[in-house]
Chain A
Amino acid sequence: MNLQQAFDALRQQETASAPRFDRMWRARAPRSLTPRLAFAAMLLITVAVLVFQPQKPQPSITAWKAPTDFLLQTPGRELLTSVPDLKGSRQ
């Protein structure tokens, strides 16, 4: 057996076990579409979540309380909010 025949034997052996062309050629579409489909599905889910999320009721303006209100709760604050009873203190 010479070099050419050895290569011929190798070629015969390998090409005989080649996978079917149509299997490989047809398999291309889903493979290239998969990332796009995944992206589209993710986008759809995000939009659906944003659109259909439950709306929180708007709070009334009279029920609103300033978040820094507690800073006004100083010691002795009641002395400033009431009028002292001078008559009672004299007795």
Chain B
Amino acid sequence: MEIEREIEELHAASFGWAMSCCGRNRQDAEEVLQDVYVKIFEGKARFDGRSTLKTWLFSVIRRTAASQTRQRMLHDVLTAKWARRELDPVSPTSDAAAQHAQTSEALIAALQQLARRQREVLELVFYHDMTVEEAAAAMGVSLGSARVHYDRGKKQLLARLNGKLSL
């Protein structure tokens, strides 16, 4: 199956995007990605060729993650679970890896302080090498709106990371 092969090629990037959409909770990200694959397999999500496969796949992941987050919040409210969800710990294996892990932690912490749309557009551009136009399509917002989120988000991110990264 052609689409299966293409989705497999995008799997690692899709997982990264799912991590981003799930607040870097690995278990949630895996669940979301699995649900997305089920939707595609059962034909509930169909690629119509109006955008690139990656843009379409990322928008499906984003919608699925948002839906699951809503369900989870409702469940937490109903079962009165207010405990904070823990992020997966980073386990570096060498000095270089440890430095990367520190940088990543600082970046994740700074990203989580941004507004959701700002965070999404920055991750799509910097992490997933998308253009702002492609990011707008994946986020389901206009190009103008995506540009505003990109500019404001980047300024805020740099301000928050100032001193933590040698920029």
Chain A residues proximal to chain B, CB less than 8 Å:
1-4, 6-7, 9-15, 17-19, 21, 24-25, 27-29, 31-32
Contacts and interface: CB of A to CB of B under 8 A. Distances in A.
B42 interface: yes
B166 interface: yes
A21 B8 contact: yes
Interface of B: 4, 7-8, 11-13, 15-16, 19, 26, 30, 33-34, 37-38, 41-42, 90, 100-101, 103-104, 106-108, 123, 126-128, 154, 157-158, 161, 165-167
Nearest to A29: B41
A6 to B, nearest CB: 5
Contact of B100 (A4, A9, A27, A29): A9
16 contacts: A1-B103, A1-B167, A2-B167, A4-B126, A6-B106, A6-B161, A7-B123, A9-B103, A13-B90, A13-B100, A19-B30, A24-B11, A27-B34, A28-B34, A28-B37, A31-B38
A51 to B, nearest CB: 34
B11 A21 contact: yes
A6 B104 contact: yes
Contacts, number: 79
Contacts of B33: 24
B161 A3 contact: yes
A18 B37 CA distance: 15
A87 B158 CA distance: 127
A61 B22 CA distance: 73
Contacts of B103: 1, 6, 9-10
B8 A25 contact: yes
Nearest to A9: B100
B15 A15 contact: yes
Contact of A7 (B15, B101, B107): B107
